[in-house]
Structure 1
Amino acid sequence: MPAFPWTDVAIILALIALNGFFAMAELAIVSARRPRLQAMQRAGRRGAGRALALAADSGRFLSAVQIGITLIGVANGAFSGASLAGPVAARLEGWFGLSASVADDVGFALVIVIVTYVSLIIGELVPKQFALRAPEPLAAAVAPAMDLLTRVTRPFVFLLDQSSQLVFRLLRLKRDADHAVTEEELRSMVTDAESAGVIEESERALISGIMRLADRPVRGVMTPRVEVDWLDASAGEDEVRARLIATPHTRIVVADGNIDTIIGVVQARDALAALLEGRPLDLRALAKAAPAVPDVADATDALTALRDAAVPMALVIDEYGHFEGVVTPADLLAAIAGEFKSDMDDELDPHLVTREDGSLLVSGGMAADELAETLGFELPEERDYQTVAGFVLAELEHIPATGEHFEARGWRFEVIDMDGRKIDKLLVSRVQPDP
Structure 2
Amino acid sequence: MTLGQSLFLLALLVAAGAFFSIAEIAMAASRRLRLRQLAEQGDGRAERVMRVQEQPGHYFTVIQIGVNALGVLGGIVGEGLLSPYFTPFFALWMSEAAAGTAGFLAAFLLVTSLFILGSDLAPKRVSMAVPEKVAVRIIGPMLFLMTVLKPVVWLYAKLTDLLMALFKLPQQRDETITSDDILALTEAGALSGALERREQQVIENVFELDTRTVPSSMTAREHIAYFLIDDPDEVIRARIAKEPYAAYPVCEKDIDHVIGYVEARDLFQRVLNGRPIHLRDNDLVRKALVLPDRLTLAEVLDQFRLVGQDFAIIVNEYSLVVGLITLNDVMSTVMGGLVHDRDDDMIVRRDENSWLIDGITPIQDVQRVLEIDTLLHEDEYETLAGFLMVMLRRVPRRTDSVTWGGYKFEVMDVDSYRIDQVLVTRFTPPAEGEAAEAGRPPAAPADARQA
2:401 to 392, 405, 421: 405
TM-score by length of 1: 0.88
Output the CA distance in 1 between the equivalents of 2:378 and 2:161.
38
User: Is the Cα contact below 8 Å between 1:290 and 1:310 reproduced in 2?
Assistant: no
- 5 Å matches for 1:78-227? 78-90=76-88, 92-93=90-91, 96=92, 98-176=94-172, 178-227=174-223
SS of residue paired to 1:215: coil
1:87-133 Cα distance to aligned partner (Å, 9 max, x none): 4324554xx46543233222211111111112111111111111121
User: Is the Cα contact below 8 Å between 2:198 and 2:338 reproduced in 1?
Assistant: no
2:11 to 13, 35, 60: 13
SS of residue paired to 2:364: helix
- 5 Å matches for 1:14-413? 14-90=12-88, 92-93=90-91, 96=92, 98-176=94-172, 178-284=174-280, 285-307=283-305, 309-338=307-336, 350-374=345-369, 375-379=371-375, 383-413=379-409
Cα distance 1:281–1:177, how it changes in 2: closer, same or farther (>3 A)? same
In structure 1, what residue type is equivalent to 2:209?
L
Output the CA distance in 1 between the equivalents of 2:13 and 2:183.
43
SS of residue paired to 1:47: helix
Output the CA distance in 2 between the equivalents of 1:68 and 1:23.
10
Count of matched residue positions in the alignment of Structure 1 and Structure 2: 428
In structure 1, what residue type is equivalent to 2:123?
P
Cα distance 1:397–1:245, how it changes in 2: closer, same or farther (>3 A)? same
Tell me what 1:418 maps to.
Answer: 414
Coordinate RMSD, CA, aligned: 2.8
Choose 60-69 or 227-236, whichever is displaced more.
60-69
Output the CA distance in 2 between the equivalents of 1:368 and 1:35.
34
Output the CA distance in 2 between the equivalents of 1:317 and 1:153.
70
SS of residue paired to 1:146: helix
Output the CA distance in 2 between the equivalents of 1:26 and 1:204.
33
Cα distance 1:334–1:322, how it changes in 2: closer, same or farther (>3 A)? same
What's the offset of the Cα at 1:376? 3.1
Cα distance 1:269–1:401, how it changes in 2: closer, same or farther (>3 A)? same
In structure 1, what residue type is equivalent to 2:38?
M
In structure 2, what residue type is equivalent to 1:54?
V
User: Is the Cα contact below 8 Å between 1:209 and 1:335 reproduced in 2?
Assistant: yes
Output the CA distance in 1 between the equivalents of 2:338 and 2:141.
57
Cα distance 1:223–1:388, how it changes in 2: closer, same or farther (>3 A)? same
Cα distance 1:394–1:171, how it changes in 2: closer, same or farther (>3 A)? farther
Output the CA distance in 2 between the equivalents of 1:91 and 1:349.
79
Output the CA distance in 1 between the equivalents of 2:392 and 2:4.
80
Percent of matched pairs sharing the same residue: 27
User: Is the Cα contact below 8 Å between 1:23 and 1:128 reproduced in 2?
Assistant: yes
Output the CA distance in 2 between the equivalents of 1:187 and 1:280.
53
What's the offset of the Cα at 1:249? 0.6
In structure 2, what residue type is equivalent to 1:286?
L
Choose 269-278 or 332-341, whichever is displaced more.
332-341
What's the offset of the Cα at 1:381? 8.8
SS of residue paired to 1:131: helix
Cα distance 1:68–1:294, how it changes in 2: closer, same or farther (>3 A)? farther
User: Is the Cα contact below 8 Å between 1:212 and 1:369 reproduced in 2?
Assistant: no
User: Is the Cα contact below 8 Å between 1:37 and 1:52 reproduced in 2?
Assistant: yes
Unaligned runs of 5+ in 2: 432-451
Tell me what 2:439 maps to.
Answer: none
Cα distance 1:337–1:135, how it changes in 2: closer, same or farther (>3 A)? same
Output the CA distance in 2 between the equivalents of 1:406 and 1:328.
33
User: Is the Cα contact below 8 Å between 1:288 and 1:310 reproduced in 2?
Assistant: no
SS of residue paired to 1:325: strand
Cα distance 1:123–1:259, how it changes in 2: closer, same or farther (>3 A)? same
SS of residue paired to 2:351: coil
Cα distance 1:296–1:160, how it changes in 2: closer, same or farther (>3 A)? farther
Cα distance 1:401–1:323, how it changes in 2: closer, same or farther (>3 A)? closer
User: Is the Cα contact below 8 Å between 1:214 and 1:300 reproduced in 2?
Assistant: yes
In structure 2, what residue type is equivalent to 1:13?
A
User: Is the Cα contact below 8 Å between 2:24 and 2:60 reproduced in 1?
Assistant: yes
1:265-305 Cα distance to aligned partner (Å, 9 max, x none): 21111111112223331324312234333333331232233
Output the CA distance in 1 between the equivalents of 2:112 and 2:339.
67
In structure 1, what residue type is equivalent to 2:22?
M
SS of residue paired to 1:424: strand
Output the CA distance in 2 between the equivalents of 1:243 and 1:328.
20
1:177-203 Cα distance to aligned partner (Å, 9 max, x none): 545444445434333322222222222
Cα distance 1:305–1:232, how it changes in 2: closer, same or farther (>3 A)? same
1:217-254 Cα distance to aligned partner (Å, 9 max, x none): 22322222222211111222222222222212121112
What's the offset of the Cα at 1:48? 0.3
